[in-house]
Structure formats: C-alpha cells, structure tokens
Amino acid sequence: MKQKVLVVEDDKDIVQIIKLYVESQDIEVLVAYNGEQALQIISETKIDLLVSDVMMPLMNGFELVKKVRETLNIPVIIISAKDQSSDKILGLNLGADDYITKPFDPLEVVARINAQLRRKKEYNQDESRIITLRELTLDLEALEFRKSDEVINLTATEFKIIRLLMSHPGMIYTKTQIYEQVMGDYFESDENTLMVHISNLRNKIEDDPKNSTYIKTIRGLGYKIEK
C-alpha cells in the first residue's frame, strides 16, 4: 500500500511541482488548498505525513499544525516564505518536525519527506519493548512516552530523539549525528532546528528546563541523557 502525503498549499503551481516530484517516489499525494480542507481530509483518510504552507486562507498553517497535533503524531513539514528565525521556531514549537523556506529545491523537499517517512517506518517496525530511565518510560509498541504516570505528548521528531538518547544513556551524540539518525540528511539551513527540538523536549520532561537533570548539553560536543 502506498504511503499518503497531504500537501496543503494555496498556490496551485507549487502544489503541482511538489506533487510531480513526490509522486515520482511512488507516494500518493493528497491536496488541500486551505487548512479547513486539510482537516476534512485528515478526518476521512489516514495520512502518513503532512506538508503545509503557512500563509493560507481560512486557516493558516500554524493553526493547522496546532490542531493536527491535538490528535495525531504524524510527521509534519512546514514550507513557507516566512524565513525569519522566529517563524521557524514558532512552527517547530507548535509541533512541526521540519521547516523549509521558499524558494525551495523540489529535490530537497522530496529528500526531507523520504527521510521522515523512512524514520516513521523504522520506528513503527521496531521490536515491541519498553525503555525506562528513572521516571521516564518509553513504550515503543504503543508509541507512548510517560514521566511517572503522566503521559506526555511528543511530536514524531521529539519521540525519535528521546528514543535515541534513552536507548544509549550516557552516550554523547553530536548535533549532526542526532539529526542524521532522526531526521535524515543534514542541510546547512538546519543549524538551529535540532536546538529547538531539544528545548521543547526539556520543557516537557524537566521539572526545571533551565537546570536539566535528564538531557545534558556537553559543550562543544553535543547531547546525552543522564543514566
């Protein structure tokens, strides 16, 4: 069965470009031209990944991502002409897994989509097991993360990062290693993306995010999770 990608974009020319390149990868592409249409499609069809513009009529992409994250843990990629760091950080904080700025190379979009779908498939096929670390519990079968008895909602990328770190407590990973293992090929424009995801994870799992007791920054090297 083909994987399904929903592209939400009000510019029909951009939709056709993305559709042409993505469908060449034997991926089914569904299309919506605004956020409300996208939510209708999501309610009726199981999709594997969402690609969304930001500036759209009826409902912008940020609002769409926020609503999708209330019920789904699918990978989300934002494509937008809004290229300020604050816009990128906002999108990632709302739950996007990746953020691509316009103008873009269609081949890069395809590479990022393939990377997200590949990681999603790898994690879904993982052996049924549970990883525990102090108060943290990661259920790879149910795709559920808990601190003590509280279920904590993570984005797809956050789940992959914490899974990588918890699977090898005490091991130091460079930013590039984490990015490549979790999100795929590294691009120069991704410099701050991982830092935002790590910050969001800390806000969700730490009692005091400014004094992290789980995810540690190893200055000049990268990150590790404390045993």
Q: In this structure, are residues 41 and 6 in contact, taking their beta carbons and an 8 Å threshold?
A: yes
Measured distance CA(59)–CA(36) in Å, rounded: 6
- In CATH terms, the fold of domain 128-225 is Arc Repressor Mutant, subunit A (1.10.10)
% of the chain beyond a pLDDT of 90: 45
Query: What is the Cα–Cα distance from 52 to 190, expressed in whole angstroms?
Result: 18
pLDDT for 185 equals 65
Q: 161-187 burial by CB neighbour count: b if 16+ within 10 A, else e? A: bbbbbbeeeeeebebeebbeebbbebb
Mean pLDDT of 158-175: 89
Q: Find the DSSP H helices in 47-189.
A: 61-69, 85-94, 106-124, 156-167, 175-182
* Chain segment 93-130, per-residue pLDDT in tens: 888 889 998 888 999 999 999 988 887 776 665 544 88
Q: What is the DSSP string of 182-194?
A: HT-S--GGGTTHH
* Nearest Cα to Cα of residue 71 among 100, 42, 106, 30: 42
Looking at residue 191, its pLDDT comes to: 62
pLDDT of 203 strictly over 90: yes
CA 224 – CA 99 distance, rounded (Å): 24
Is a pLDDT exceeding 80 seen at residue 163?
Answer: yes
Give the chain's end-to-end CA distance (angstroms, integer). 41
pLDDT in tens, 64-83: 998 998 888 889 999 988 87
Record the tokens describing residue 104, joined without a space.
Answer: 């873009």
Q: What is the mean pLDDT of residues 21-37?
A: 94
> Where does CATH 3.40.50.2300 sit in the chain?
4-122
pLDDT of residue 15: 94
Q: Mean pLDDT: which of 38-52, 114-128, 135-149 is highest?
A: 38-52
pLDDT the model gives residue 128: 47
pLDDT of residue 116: 87
Range(s) for CATH 1.10.10.10 in the chain? Answer: 128-225
pLDDT over 70 at 178, yes or no? yes
| 44, two tokens | 């009726």
- The whole-angstrom distance between residue 49's C-alpha and the CA centroid of its chain comes to 10
The reported pLDDT for the residue numbered 192 is 77
- Average confidence score pLDDT of the chain: 87
| Span 4-122 CATH architecture | 3-Layer(aba) Sandwich (3.40)
